[in-house]
Amino acid sequence: MRRSILIVSLLSAGIFAGWCGHALTPSPAHPRAVEPRGPLPDWEQIPIRRFREAAPSVVYITTTEERSRDFFGLDVVEVPAGSGTGFIWDTDGHVVTNFHVIKAAARAYITLVDGSRHEATYVGGAPDKDLAVLLLAKTPPKLRPIPLGTSTDLQVGQAVLAIGNPFGLDQTLTTGVVSALGREIQSVTRRRIAGVIQTDAAINPGNSGGPLLDSAGRLIGVNTAIQSPSGASAGIGFAVPVDTVNRVVPQLIARGHLERPELGFEPVEPRLVERAFGPQKGVMVGKVARGGAAARAGLRGVSVEGRRVFAGDLIQVVNGRTVQDWDGLLDAVEALPLGSTVNLEIQREGRKIPVAIRLEAARD
């Protein structure tokens, strides 16, 4: 009896073990079938095509600066200073970037899309516009200049693409829209840059100097700054409009600096105008240079007779455009060719008087 129970128990255990072993043995792994995707829709294909077309025109810029190892400055070494983005302007090897990217650089190096690294020389800069031009020391073959667009017909809501090297990550694409037009930001000289494009395409440190493109792949701006309490992208980026770039860059290549008009007078600081004459909208003429453009146009500056101070002419309109401060006046005249005649409307002794002034090149 005991023997029979033992045999049955062993048989039962074997059957249970076999069943358990069969249950615990994994079945062979088979990958799931992949669903065919089909062609990408146009809204996905457009940024892909534009990135492939523009990427060869975008470069990575690194800079070095000189530092002294000792107190007397006899042992000077080069150390990394920063990095940014730029883009190829022409087949001669000119590269456009922001002035603040290279302003403190002893040397600049440009890495092309193929990974080759080249030293670049400084051609010229316009700090007031935060733009600069570099030149590749040796021009590689088959450089691809970036196509130029215009910023005059931009519309809020249209699609944009930004390509750059944020945080040293090269060839990074971000997309968004034109968020606003006609913004103003400060340049490195504290001079106001007007007509700036605002975008929500992510722009981070390292994107500076990179191109902002429209959906046709044309340059419409140079990514310049962000507004963010953390220093990283918060969806508010700014780009210098391409119409400004296309006016400034040829001058930098030709002369090394932006040719400015000389009006022939010094403006009065707004706080002094308000203190002496009350709130005023416009630019008050202070000291008029003898023989200059303002003197020949008959503009009058601030004058003093005994203890009395007499207001100078208050410039309020330039070619039909209202100006409220010195930056606004400079923006208006710098957009005009040198040698042209500008029609001013001034306020003098309570009367509005038209005055014509001829723009002359400033003498540096």
Domain termination site, one of 237, 255, 273: 255
Catalytic sites, residue numbers: 100, 130, 208
Spatial separation of the C-alpha atoms in residues 98 and 239, rounded to whole Å: 10
Specify the number of domains making up the chain. 3
Q: Are residues 247 and 163 in the same domain?
A: yes
Is position 19 within any domain? no
Look up the CATH number of the domain holding residue 349: 2.30.42.10
- Check if the beta carbon of residue 344 is closer than 8 Å to that of residue 315: yes
Strand partners, 314: 284, 347
Q: What is the spatial distance between Cα 229 and Cα 100, in angstroms, rounded to a whole number?
A: 20
d(CA 353, CA 359): 19
* 311 three-class SS: coil
Q: Is residue 13 part of a domain?
A: no
- Please say which residue of 211, 239, 255 terminates a domain: 255
**Global pTM value:** 0.77
The reply to whether 328 and 270 lie within a common domain is: yes
299 within a domain of the structure (yes/no):
yes
Domain assignment of residue 192, given as a range? 159-255
The one-digit pLDDT tens for each residue of the chain (364 residues) are: 445 544 445 445 454 445 445 555 566 678 888 888 888 888 889 999 999 999 999 999 999 887 665 555 555 555 666 789 999 999 999 999 999 999 888 899 999 999 999 999 999 999 999 999 999 999 888 899 999 999 999 999 999 999 998 877 778 999 999 999 999 898 988 888 988 999 999 888 888 999 999 999 999 999 997 766 656 556 789 999 999 999 999 999 999 998 888 899 999 888 877 776 677 788 999 999 998 999 999 999 998 888 888 888 999 999 998 988 888 888 888 888 888 899 999 989 888 999 999 988 876 5
Same domain, 59 and 121: yes
